[in-house]
Chains A and B, each alone.
Chain A
């Protein structure tokens, strides 16, 4: 499948605020490592443009599994997942990879930067994966975002020379470099101190409000729900509550 979208695609703020970006219908997941273990029991969920949603729940409730399925890193055992109106469960690995790079930004608990590349290259890596034109088109905005998070002086620095907080800010900016439709974050502040956590959350919230990019964030930290305008609670593989 060719990547046909323009590198200068209009940003999400231009899209109608109530558009459904993600729709999950009866998503189930069973792991079969010798013994079958059902993790998700029929999840129905919609995520809209501009949502800043937090996914909470106890350990083992299925949060990370659900995030991996939504991020097209994993496939459901049954059910259907629509991304921007497109059904994804029948796609092969490479087609899912192309949708990921076009629609989804990831922020992981551990920053997961590429040590062989400098700060700016790490931020632009999702664009480089799409192609040279995307990388060039995103360059100025990437520099601008790095300046927003006080890393303007470090854009050529090796990421291995940054502090943990700085690395997580680079990872956060990287998630937006390709102007994704939705950003998925798995405990993005889990390894940060309180002050840096708040800075990263503010950054994500600012970008959400500025661009309309939808956020779906897994967290254990109840304080972070204060930043969200929607809280989804998972309990034993089911949506226990979904409040705005």
Chain B
């Protein structure tokens, strides 16, 4: 327990030793600013990298199983070859079954039932295709989607440059602004949309979007699910169900759980991005090392300064001990000084650190072609980082005060009194 004696001696000591107190506060504040700034910057970078990677794709994707060769006797039934036996050495063109997910509504309900870790489920009829206007021809990815569901996977509605997305009607498409530029089309223009198999239809552009993801803005054509199913020949089926999860790093676990219940191929984004994950882990370790060494440096600084404070106060410690102060009371003085210094330094550093981060967050980078402006620095600053750093600083202060506090508690009052 800390009593009035320890409080008063600790506080007066800090107030009287203005220079040392100020020096400690500066050291601590700078350490806390460094930790907050670097952590927020590294976390922001990690968030951006993950968002850049996962922002335009489903975190978990359900697809039909790998295409299976059609047996030779089925080929004949489908008219792919003539009736009759297949002889050794005979050449034949193997076709394949078109993969599809039937009764997707059932699987969608099952996925929704997983709970809060699922943020969105979007069925899609998707495939490769082309947009054609006059002589111009661009390879694109065609998506037949339910707009509101798809918007949970890829943010289209909020990134509309003009036009609409949610209220797509039959024969209407929303496309990336870059694709529109390439094709030389604008809102209200018609564009021929062909599948890779050659099926095509003329559709009217009712929306242009700028998501910031190059692959999406350059080569995506969005249409109603029914139009996509019709164009790609899927009937009432879909060939993909995309899932957005709450925590992108839990995507593997969600995929594994789903795989046990769904008779299709379930993959997570992580499986295709292991190098990125390893890079993020490496970056995380670097960040931890920086924080560790900053904390160690701060701890040594506090300990050094407290040792100087103890040395300066040897006589007073001796007087207090001669008058009956216990070792616990003396230790409490320096533990309190360590805690007070680190709390004040932590609070000051956190205030300045948060201020610096917020200030730099407002600095905008050069705008994109569509006039979209992004912050020059990307920070991830949450209350847990600020509170955690201040709590960490106080703990470091307490730990750093242990050695000087112990030294003070062992001062021999006789030596001090005789030298007084």
Q: Which residues of A contact B (CB under 8 A)?
A: 64, 68, 71, 73-74, 93-94, 97-102, 104, 106, 108-110, 112-117, 121, 125-126, 128-132, 135, 186
Q: Is the CB of A97 within 8 A of B16?
A: no
**One of B4, B324, B328 near A101 (C-beta < 8 A):** B324
Bound state CA distance, A226 and B9, in angstroms? 40
Contacts of A73 in B (CB 8 A): 322, 413-414, 417
**One of A116, A126, A131 near B16 (C-beta < 8 A):** A116
Q: Is the CB of B322 within 8 A of A100?
A: yes
Residues 325 to 375 of chain B near chain A (Cβ within 8 Å): 325-329
Task: Name, among A71, A116, A131, the residue most crowded by chain B CB atoms within 10 Å (CB to CB).
Answer: A116
A99 to chain B, nearest CB (A): 8
User: Which residue in chain B gives the minimum CB-CB distance to A68?
Assistant: B414
User: Which residue in chain B gives the minimum CB-CB distance to A135?
Assistant: B4
Task: Name, among A64, A73, A112, the residue most crowded by chain B CB atoms within 10 Å (CB to CB).
Answer: A112
B319: CB under 8 A from chain A? Answer: yes
User: Which residue in chain B gives the minimum CB-CB distance to A3?
Assistant: B324
Nearest first, the 6 closest Cβ-Cβ pairs linking A and B are A101-B324, A116-B12, A100-B324, A110-B420, A94-B326, A126-B323
Mark B304-322 against chain A: 1 for CB-CB distance below 8 A, else 0. Answer: 0000000000011001111
Q: Is the CB of B326 within 8 A of A116?
A: no
Contacts of A114 in B (CB 8 A): 9, 316, 319-320
Interface size class of B (residues with CB under 8 A): 20 to 34
Q: Is the CB of B5 within 8 A of A129?
A: yes
Q: Is the CB of B324 within 8 A of A112?
A: no
Q: Is the CB of A126 within 8 A of B413?
A: no
**One of B315, B323, B327 near A125 (C-beta < 8 A):** B323
Bound state CA distance, A101 and B315, in angstroms? 18
Q: Is the CB of B5 within 8 A of A98?
A: no
Contacts of A126 in B (CB 8 A): 323-324
Contacts of A106 in B (CB 8 A): 322-323
Q: Which residues of B contact A (CB under 8 A)?
A: 3-5, 8-9, 12-13, 15-16, 315-316, 319-329, 413-414, 417-418, 420
Contacts of A99 in B (CB 8 A): 324
Contacts of A112 in B (CB 8 A): 315, 319, 322, 417, 420
| A–B pairs, 12, beta carbons within 8 Å | A97-B324, A99-B324, A100-B322, A101-B323, A108-B420, A112-B319, A112-B417, A115-B316, A116-B15, A128-B4, A129-B323, A131-B4
Bound state CA distance, A64 and B326, in angstroms? 23
Contacts of A97 in B (CB 8 A): 321, 324-327
User: Which residue in chain A gives the minimum CB-CB distance to B16?
Assistant: A116
Given contacts A93-B327, A114-B9, A132-B4, 6 further A-B contacts (CB under 8 A): A68-B414, A97-B321, A112-B322, A114-B316, A117-B12, A132-B3
Contacts of B324 in A (CB 8 A): 97-102, 104, 126, 129-130
Q: Is the CB of B316 within 8 A of A116?
A: yes
Task: Name, among B3, B16, B319, B328, the residue most crowded by chain A CB atoms within 10 Å (CB to CB).
Answer: B319
User: Which residue in chain A gives the minimum CB-CB distance to B321?
Assistant: A97
Contacts of B315 in A (CB 8 A): 112
Contacts of B319 in A (CB 8 A): 112-114
Contacts of A94 in B (CB 8 A): 326-328
Given the known A-B contacts A110-B420, A116-B12, A128-B8, are A74 and B321 also in contact in the complex, defined by CB atoms under 8 Å?
no
B411 to chain A, nearest CB (A): 11
User: Which residue in chain A gives the minimum CB-CB distance to B13?
Assistant: A116
A137 to chain B, nearest CB (A): 14
B18 to chain A, nearest CB (A): 12
User: Which residue in chain A gives the minimum CB-CB distance to B8?
Assistant: A128
User: Which residue in chain B gives the minimum CB-CB distance to A125?
Assistant: B323
Contacts of A74 in B (CB 8 A): 414
B323 to chain A, nearest CB (A): 5
Bound state CA distance, A112 and B8, in angstroms? 18
Contacts of A71 in B (CB 8 A): 322
Bound state CA distance, A124 and B274, in angstroms? 69
Q: Is the CB of B316 within 8 A of A98?
A: no
Given the known A-B contacts A114-B319, A117-B12, are A108 and B417 also in contact in the complex, defined by CB atoms under 8 Å?
yes
Bound state CA distance, A100 and B16, in angstroms? 28
Contacts of A130 in B (CB 8 A): 324
User: Which residue in chain B gives the minimum CB-CB distance to A94?
Assistant: B326
Contacts of B420 in A (CB 8 A): 108-110, 112
A110 to chain B, nearest CB (A): 4
Contacts of B316 in A (CB 8 A): 114-116
A78 to chain B, nearest CB (A): 19
